[in-house]
Structure 1
Amino acid sequence: MTLILVGLLLWAAVHFIPSLAPDLKTSLKNRLGEGGYMGLFSLALVAALVLMVFGWRSVEQPTHYYTLPLWTRDAGMGLILVAMILFMASKPPTRIRRIIRHPQLTGLIVWALAHLMMNGDNRSVLLFSGLAVWGALEILLINRREGEWVKPEAPSWGKEIVVVLIGCVAYAIFAFAHPWLAGVAVF
């Protein structure tokens, strides 16, 4: 559990630097250059992910806090599909981005909440609630830092459909790779 917590804290700390410590970001960029800063940033995020994954897998006898009704599993899987589509809609201009300012972070929060619907053990509660809280805080900090939201132009419906299809393909890939990524079969 300690590894999960350290991974979450490292993940949050690295992401919060631009909003909470902009002078540190500037100092690191001046010292390391743009590429060096991005490399260090990426390395810290990979380390955080590794800590979270190994921390989650290292809990041999998880304690179960709750078990939700069986139908929540299907609802959770549907929410994960929504999360994948939101995640894929974060960079290209989409109608989704005209409705949701931060589709990637919103997708992460939906993903985390879906996992909390399906997993009531201590390691899952720590990991997924931690990521959901981080995502919500990150949205608030980015909004404060960036100010007023300028909505992007709406793309053609064809581009919108492509984003949704890519989200569906990503969902299928992660669902089938889940046993190797997380050690838990989805189907």
Structure 2
Amino acid sequence: MLTLVAGLVLFLGAHSARIFAEGWRAAMIASVGDKPFKGVYSLVSIAGFVLVVVGYGLARQSPVVMWSQPPVWTRHLAALLTLLAFVLVAAAYVPGNQLKAKLHHPMILGVKVWAVAHLLANNTLADLVLFGSFLLWAVLDFRAARQRDRAQGTVYPAGSVPRTAVAVVAGAVAWAVFAFWLHRALIGVSPMGV
């Protein structure tokens, strides 16, 4: 569990600079430059991600069950929620879509939905630590991002229906590939029972 926690501290810590230390972040970028800052940020993030993956894998070998196995319907709800999460993440990268115009930070919302889905369908301490940490981070990050938008007067351009359709289809296809094949290959669990 210590490896998982260390990974979460590194990964989410690096991704929390804009939540808790915006001034420090801006000063560091001004001091060392944008590219060196992003380089160190990327290295810390990658190291954290690797530790999260390894730590979660180790924790799954000796699971600490927190509550009884959730009912089967929670897995179906989790599948539906993760579909929504994939669409939201895709909307963050498809320019000019209505989801981004309306929600402003769809990727962070996608992380929230992904975390909630996994908390509903899983019951171990490692799940609670991993997905609970991501949910807490996403709640705080969304709040900070919305505050920055208000402070800077950020206006999001209206999106178009065709670009929104691209985001929805891209997210749905990515979800299907992950849910039916990659989740089992990478995580060792088949969420769709295949």
Query: What is the aligned partner in structure 2 of residue 142 from structure 1?
Result: 145
Query: What is the aligned partner in structure 1 of residue 55 from structure 2?
Result: 55
Rounded to whole Å, the distance in 2 between the matches of 1:123 and 1:76 is: 17
Match for 2:184 among 179, 182, 185?
179
Instruction: Verify the 8 A CA contact 1:97 1:151 in the aligned structure 2.
Output: no
Please provide the CA RMSD for this pair: 1.8
Query: Which deviates the most, 1-10 or 142-151?
Result: 142-151
Counterpart residue type for residue 41 of structure 1: Y
Structure 2 CA distance for partners of 1:23 and 1:81, relative to 1, 3 Å: same
Rounded to whole Å, the distance in 1 between the matches of 2:89 and 2:24 is: 28
Query: What is the aligned partner in structure 1 of residue 113 from structure 2?
Result: 110
Rounded to whole Å, the distance in 2 between the matches of 1:18 and 1:152 is: 20
Aligned partner of residue 92 in structure 2, secondary structure: coil
- Give the TM-score taking structure 2 as reference length: 0.88
Query: What is the aligned partner in structure 2 of residue 133 from structure 1?
Result: 136
- The C-alpha deviation readout for 1:29-53, integer Å capped at 9, x for no partner, is 2443211111111111111111111
Match for 1:88 among 87, 90, 106?
90
Counterpart residue type for residue 99 of structure 1: K
- Give the ranges of 4+ consecutive aligned residues of structure 1 lying more than 4 Å apart after TM superposition: 148-151
Structure 2 CA distance for partners of 1:140 and 1:89, relative to 1, 3 Å: same
Aligned partner of residue 111 in structure 1, secondary structure: helix
Counterpart residue type for residue 85 of structure 1: V
Instruction: Verify the 8 A CA contact 1:93 1:152 in the aligned structure 2.
Output: no
Counterpart residue type for residue 185 of structure 2: W
Q: How many residues align?
A: 187
Query: Which deviates the most, 74-83 or 150-159?
Result: 150-159
Query: What is the aligned partner in structure 2 of residue 12 from structure 1?
Result: 12
Q: What is the deviation of 1:150?
A: 4.3
Rounded to whole Å, the distance in 1 between the matches of 2:4 and 2:165 is: 36
Unaligned runs of 5+ residues in structure 1 are: none
Unaligned runs of 5+ residues in structure 2 are: none
Q: What is the deviation of 1:28?
A: 2.8
Match for 1:157 among 143, 155, 161?
161
- The C-alpha deviation readout for 1:76-130, integer Å capped at 9, x for no partner, is 1000000000011113222112332321011101001101111111111110011
Counterpart residue type for residue 129 of structure 1: G
Counterpart residue type for residue 94 of structure 1: N
Instruction: Verify the 8 A CA contact 1:10 1:44 in the aligned structure 2.
Output: yes
Match for 1:75 among 74, 77, 80?
77
